[in-house]
Amino acid sequence: MRDATPQTIYLKDYKVPEFLIDKTNLVFDLNEDYCRVSSSLAIRRNPASQSSSASLFLHGGKDLDLQCIEVDDCPLNDDQYQRTEDGLIINHVPDNAVINIEVLIKPHLNTTMMGLYKSRTMYCTQCEAEGFRNITFYLDRPDVMSEFTTKLIADKHQFPVLLSNGNPLDQGELDNGRHFVTWHDPFKKPAYLFALVAGDLSVVEDSFTTCTNREILLQIFVESKDLNKCDHAMLSLKKSMRWDEQTYGREYDLDRFMIVAVDDFNMGAMENKGLNIFNTSAVLANPKTTTDAAFQRVEGIVAHEYFHNWSGNRVTCRDWFQLSLKEGFTVYRDSQFSADMNSSVVKRIEDVSYLRTYQFAEDAGPMSHPVQPDAYMEINNFYTLTVYEKGAEVVGMIHSLLGDAKFRQGSDLYFSRHDGQAVTIEEFVSAMEEVSGLDLKQFRRWYKQSGTPVVNVQSSYDAEAKTYSLNFNQSCPTTSGQSHKKPFFIPIKLGLVDANGQDLPLNSQGDQSIVFSLYSNSQTLVFENIQQPPVPSLLRGFSAPIKLDYNYTSDELAHLMAHDSDGFNRWDAGQKLSLLVLNRLIDDAKAKRELVMDQQLITVFGELLKDHSLDPAMVNLMLQLPSEAQLHEQAETIYVDAIHGAREFARQSIATALQEQLVATYKRLTDNQDYAPEAQQIGRRSLRNCVLGYLMQVETVGPELAWQQFNDASNMTDKAAALSALVNCQAADSYAVKALHAFEQDYADETLAMNLWLQIQATSKLNNGLERVKDLMGHPAFSINNPNKARSLLGAFCSANPVNFHHQDGSGYGFLQQQIIALNALNPQVAARLVTPLTRWKKLPEPNRQLMRDALQQISNHKGLVKDIQEIVTKSL
């Protein structure tokens, strides 16, 4: 059934709950084809609520098969309650009461992966944001926090492991081969943090001694075949626990911390109290099957979910408009952690590239929204790059405005003042304001105004007065629902680099980097005693999530690339230089003029390759041309083929001109060290594989080298890079076929490696991409029911293979439309994410523009559309 026209929920309509639930007792009786859920809720009127209505509304999905309700042990008749579309109204309840409810649910039929469902042979749950209401009737809102006791009953042979939040209280045997385990979580929590797992699982155990000498049992539960893939996650967990003590003074609270790996999961992982549930892709890692990128992702996600124990669980969100309170802050915390564990400048560059490519695009598209949205139809559509990544940037700006000591004081105050509460972003900002004495009134606009601000900078030098001026002008484009923006408070870290590459002193204290506060539309900054016009190094470290526009010459950029004392800006100068070159080539390609390569870029790249003193990780990043996705983001109109053609031409020219140095670099970085997923090795592999990518443009060298690397590789990073190089190279066709086949044979039983195999083929830029994807849909390694597989094949093709997806005959769009309709009924969250590429139709030229719009329209016309998709499609059309 089509969801009724979805209602918009507004932040301004927030009201405190009329009732609270002090205690929640749950019994899950798991049977072959149903689960009986009995709940006992100790409710109480909320003294903070103005309402005196005696009726109690509980959320509940349409699939709950209600068996009975009792209020204080009295069963209710049919006329004492009503079912509504989204819940249940009990007409009269006393101010204090115990409500007992029994429902039957069918987890084995639940394909949405929200609520209780089955993944392969195990049962598991996902309740954030509003999944608990598919388990039983409840006040399913984050500001209702309750103490949970959960009893699980199941067949002992099939489900020997029965887990829920907190600590085990009791367990025992029952008749008919069944058993039970009861868990109690002493910390009050909202229902979205509830979890249970039942399965035949193996466990890897370790322990952690906290800063107050408490011993915590750490457990990672997996299917037995994956026992050899848990070490990295366990190590990451222990590092995270120590780091959070040292950096934020946060100690773990329960006696055990459990992670369970499940194959079918809508996102990366979930921070349920004491019982994190992870997508296998976010926890399992082994050098033979896992790439460096995936190892790092595991470390980051384990840390992220662990950090939520404080930023999210102990202090949670009042309502879902406050989502960035926990997500923005926790992403900020996990990126600090990853920076500390690896290279901070590399991490910063990776984060910023991601933000600029994907969050900027989101913020310029029809789903643009502020970090604190003020309205939504489906909350699951708001787990976005804006809430997460831009939200983290905003916390980062607060950190740099306050400095380390005050920021720590602010977070301490926030955690202690709001421990056990469900609060708002405002409360976070207030704590920071209070400890620092800063006035963050204008700063708060970062939470309320959407869109990426643009700061235009003009410089002028007065040779007589020896002054150098920078004039800053800010603006912010109109975004959906927000036409007029007030000026942002923008911290712009900057320096001035002289002709020798030295930083000039910028003030009487001799500071070589300062943070300039831009708070009005236009401001000028004047430096005295400047003997020669310098090159400005602006927005060092990417001190604010903005687009900074300054008319650099390519010589100035080359100068910054070579000398800027700020590592991030050295890289960024290279990106800007590449952009200048690529944008000229794109214009020429559009106009069908002959393409001529810029020699300066080749020269600077050559110098990078020659300088062995540089960190290979940085050289890799500096040699990466802006991705096609990033070129799409910064283009006014996306000419897919011109962009692809221009970029490939640049890569080809670089490879041809620098062939010798590329080969020398490749050889220099070839070694037989034992694999370790640590920063230095990862950097070397990244550069070697980047070089291999360039060499694929040289027919006489690349294919042979990639084939050899494919066969020699002792780890998945090198194997996958070689495979990807081969399947993207026409001249390597025969090797590609052999390599794909060998990979398929070797990794047939490794689900995650096979997902990578699907993804590598889905993103091949060679012709007939859609046909390949359609064929692969029939491969046993694919299943549309598994979110990882849907993303690896369908998601990757539609969002990361632009030349094939945007084929001018519209076949890519028609295909995506079909897949979205197929997934609509199965898994609304996965389906809704897949729509994104189509929502950008306004940026494409004809005929694509109209074809994309038609596909969206067809989706919109579909009879049974879920509200997740309705919201996105309606806003995009």
The residues binding Zn ion (CB under 5 A) are 327, 330
In the complex, the smallest distance separating the C-beta of residue 267 from ligand B3K, rounded to whole angstroms, is 5
Decide: 552 and 561 in contact? Cβ < 8 Å: no
Nearer to ligand B3K by C-beta: 379 or 504? 379
Cα–Cα dist 650/77, whole Å? 75
In the complex, the smallest distance separating the C-beta of residue 861 from ligand B3K, rounded to whole angstroms, is 26
In the complex, the smallest distance separating the C-beta of residue 128 from ligand B3K, rounded to whole angstroms, is 4
Q: Which of residues 348-387 bind ligand B3K (CB under 6 A)?
A: 380, 383
Candidates 65-73, 205-213, 269-277, 864-872: pick the segment binding ligand B3K (CB under 6 A): 269-277
> Is 773 one of the binding residues for ligand B3K (CB under 6 A)?
no
> Is 267 one of the binding residues for ligand B3K (CB under 6 A)?
yes
Candidates 68-76, 262-270, 411-419, 673-681: pick the segment binding ligand B3K (CB under 6 A): 262-270
Decide: 164 and 274 in contact? Cβ < 8 Å: no
CB atoms under 10 Å from CB of 730, counted, come to: 12
Task: Out of 271, 350, 389, 628, point to the residue binding ligand B3K (CB under 6 A).
Answer: 271
> Is 327 one of the binding residues for ligand B3K (CB under 6 A)?
yes
Nearer to Zn ion by C-beta: 21 or 423? 423
Based on C-alpha coordinates, what's the Rg of the chain?
28
Q: Which of residues 540-559 bind ligand B3K (CB under 6 A)?
A: none
Candidates 42-50, 51-59, 302-310, 736-744: pick the segment binding ligand B3K (CB under 6 A): 302-310
In the complex, the smallest distance separating the C-beta of residue 269 from ligand B3K, rounded to whole angstroms, is 6
- The candidate with the shortest Cα–Cα distance to 216, out of 266, 260, 251, is 251
**What is the x/- site pattern for ligand B3K, positions 126-155, by CB under 6 A?**
--xx--------------------------
Q: Would you give the end-to-end CA distance of the chain in angstroms? A: 22
- The candidate with the shortest Cα–Cα distance to 122, out of 220, 267, 222, 234, is 222
Decide: 30 and 154 in contact? Cβ < 8 Å: yes
User: Taking the CA of residue 848 as centre, how many other CA atoms within 13 Å lie in the half-sphere pointing to its CB?
Assistant: 23
**Mode of pairing for the β-strands spanning 202-209 and 422-423:** unpaired
Cα–Cα dist 773/792, whole Å? 11
Query: 314 is in the binding site of which of ligand B3K, Zn ion, none (Cβ under 5 to 8 A by kind)?
Result: none
How many residues contact ligand B3K, by CB under 6 A?
12
Nearer to ligand B3K by C-beta: 25 or 380? 380
In the complex, the smallest distance separating the C-beta of residue 383 from ligand B3K, rounded to whole angstroms, is 5
In the complex, the smallest distance separating the C-beta of residue 517 from ligand B3K, rounded to whole angstroms, is 32
Decide: 833 and 794 in contact? Cβ < 8 Å: no
Query: 128 is in the binding site of which of Zn ion, ligand B3K, none (Cβ under 5 to 8 A by kind)?
Result: ligand B3K
Query: Which residues is 706 bridged to in the sheet?
Result: none
Nearer to ligand B3K by C-beta: 827 or 848? 827
> Is 305 one of the binding residues for ligand B3K (CB under 6 A)?
yes
**Mode of pairing for the β-strands spanning 275-279 and 256-262:** parallel
The CA-based angle 379-385-391, given to 5 degrees, is 90
Burial 382-414 (b: 16+ CB within 10 A, else e): bbbbbbbbbbbbbbbbbbebbeeebbbbbbebb
Nearer to Zn ion by C-beta: 327 or 389? 327
Tell me which of 102, 223, 299, 305 is the catalytic residue: 305
Cα–Cα dist 533/574, whole Å? 21
**What is the x/- site pattern for ligand B3K, positions 221-260, by CB under 6 A?**
----------------------------------------
Q: Which of residues 448-507 bind ligand B3K (CB under 6 A)?
A: none
Decide: 136 and 101 in contact? Cβ < 8 Å: yes
CB atoms under 10 Å from CB of 182, counted, come to: 20
Nearer to ligand B3K by C-beta: 327 or 572? 327
**What is the x/- site pattern for ligand B3K, positions 93-132, by CB under 6 A?**
-----------------------------------xx---
Residues 6+ apart with CB under 8 A from 37: 26, 27, 28, 29, 102, 103, 104, 105, 135, 136
215 has catalytic annotation: no
Distances 870 to 102, 717, 858, 860, 865 between C-alpha atoms, Å: 33, 39, 12, 7, 6
> Is 270 one of the binding residues for ligand B3K (CB under 6 A)?
yes
> Is 304 one of the binding residues for ligand B3K (CB under 6 A)?
yes
In the complex, the smallest distance separating the C-beta of residue 129 from ligand B3K, rounded to whole angstroms, is 5
Q: Which tokens in the block code for residue 699?
A: 């027919």
Query: 383 is in the binding site of which of ligand B3K, Zn ion, none (Cβ under 5 to 8 A by kind)?
Result: ligand B3K
In the complex, the smallest distance separating the C-beta of residue 417 from Zn ion, rounded to whole angstroms, is 22
In the complex, the smallest distance separating the C-beta of residue 380 from Zn ion, rounded to whole angstroms, is 14
Q: From edge to edge, which strands make up the β-sheet containing 275-279?
A: 202-209, 215-222, 256-262, 275-279, 269-270
Query: 129 is in the binding site of which of ligand B3K, Zn ion, none (Cβ under 5 to 8 A by kind)?
Result: ligand B3K
Give me the count of residues in the chain: 877
The catalytic residue positions are: 305
User: Could you list the residues that contact ligand B3K (CB under 6 A)?
Assistant: 128-129, 267, 269-271, 304-305, 308, 327, 380, 383
